[in-house]
Amino acid sequence: MIFTVAIDGPAAAGKGTISRAVARHFGFAHLDTGLLYRAVGAKGGDPVRAAQTLSEADLTRGDLRTLEAGQAASQVAVIPEVRAALVDFQRRFARREGGAVLDGRDIGTVICPEAEVKLFVTASAEVRAHRRWLEVGGDEAEVLAQVIERDKRDAERLVAPMKPAADAVVLDTSEMTIESAVAAAKAVVDTRLSAEV
């Protein structure tokens, strides 16, 4: 069975946690597409060359979850040639046999517009900054400023801006527990899977 779940949204909204839980629950493969861009940014040098030569081993680096890697990812993600180099990899992953969950910024709108399920996971900038600050520490006001700056850059880029697909289910996790957010996402997937059978 080929079944794609596209989960998009801004940083620290909970899409990674939700994506991993959904993939585990349904036995689907999971790809955090942000890691692709983080790995390209972390490799340094020419970002287009880094994207073209990216390997699965590059996705296992220990420094890909840092604030610095996140900022680098956002900077290289605006380069059309970098995005083009990574699109095929993502599309092949998405349509693999056995089902797949991909999370990122443009999965439902650009990478997999034909995905069977599209979710857009969001939360207020303040809530997301607090979550990120709990992860990485530092100055919480500075983390908020970085979150706002990154949102602006991701939403305003000319190529594949971050926005909900027209047919995406929007899930605002600002006031939700992890458990309730995961349950809501599973329910959407369950409904669509039932319709497929």
Determine whether the annotation assigns residue 161 to a binding site. no
What is the CA 77 to chain-centroid distance, rounded? 12
Determine whether the annotation assigns residue 9 to a binding site. yes
Determine whether the annotation assigns residue 16 to a binding site. yes
Determine whether the annotation assigns residue 11 to a binding site. yes
- For residue range 66-80, list pLDDT tens digits in order: 888 888 988 898 898
pLDDT of the residue at 197 = 66
CATH number 3.40.50.300 given to 4-196: yes
pTM (two decimals)? 0.84
Residue range 102-127: mean pLDDT, rounded: 95
Determine whether the annotation assigns residue 14 to a binding site. yes
What 3-state class would DSSP assign to 37? helix
Residue range 176-195: mean pLDDT, rounded: 95
Determine whether the annotation assigns residue 184 to a binding site. no
- For residue range 1-14, list pLDDT tens digits in order: 899 999 999 988 99
Residue 159 has pLDDT above 80, yes or no: no
What 3-state class would DSSP assign to 46? coil
